[in-house]
Amino acid sequence: MEELIAKKYIKAIKDSSNTTSMSDIAAIFSVLAKSFNDDKFKSIMNNPNVSSEDKSGILLDCVKSLDSKSVNNLLKLLVEKKRISVIPALAEELRKDLARSNKSYTGFIYSNSEIDSKVIQDLSDGLSKKFDSTIVLSFQKTDFNGIKVDVEDLGIEIDFSKSRINSQMIEHIIKAI
């Protein structure tokens, strides 16, 4: 639900901004969204005893460095409509929209064994060519027994599981007999 609300606000922001200011706005909202991970900040924003003016003042102080009238008005509107909780979803949707417009995505490679940086770069280059975008992959060591490549914003998930390959080989051998 919050994503749908966020998309409506993003449409309004896009209509009144250029690409450079969109990236600045996305950066500011990303920082604001991280503030919502702090329990104290969240309790202040969700507290009905804290006035709307105080909430608005706190949020406006956070974005003072951007000096953007449209961002200030957006934050005031979010406070007025009691939609402060939409800010993290707004930040995420702004990030995704910016990635789509720049054709620049980030993804992860998951595996339980170390992967050489050259292999990671080759995978990034191959996917970038395939999807006509810039894709940057980073490695995260997990307990996944195989290799999994995930670029969430593009909807790409490729995995090679050792157990699945073994079972497919067994099936193929059984069919051959």
Range of the domain at 139: 103-176
Establish how many alpha carbons lie within 13 A of residue 104's alpha carbon, considering only the half-sphere containing its beta carbon.
Answer: 4
Of the residues 99, 126, 154, the one at which a domain ends: 99
The reply to whether 38 and 88 lie within a common domain is: yes
The answer on 86 and 34 residing in a single domain is yes
pLDDT digits (tens, 9 = 90+) for 111-133: 888 888 898 999 899 999 999 99
CB 107 within 8 A of CB 150: yes
Task: Judge contact between 137 and 107, C-beta under 8 A.
Answer: yes
- Written as six digits, the tokens of 47 are 């507290």
Give the tens place of pLDDT for each residue, 20-67. Answer: 778 888 888 898 899 889 889 888 888 889 888 998 898 888 888 777
Count structural domains, the chain.
2
**Of 83, 99, 115, which residue sits at a domain end?**
99
Does 153 score more than 80 pLDDT?
Answer: yes
Domain shared by 75 and 132, yes or no: no
% helix / strand / coil in the chain, to the nearest 5?
65, 15, 20
Cα distances (Å, whole numbers) of residue 137 to 4, 107, 116: 28, 5, 12
Please tell me the pTM assigned to this model.
0.74
CA 71 to chain centre: 20
Nearest to 92, CA basis, from 5, 35, 157, 33: 33
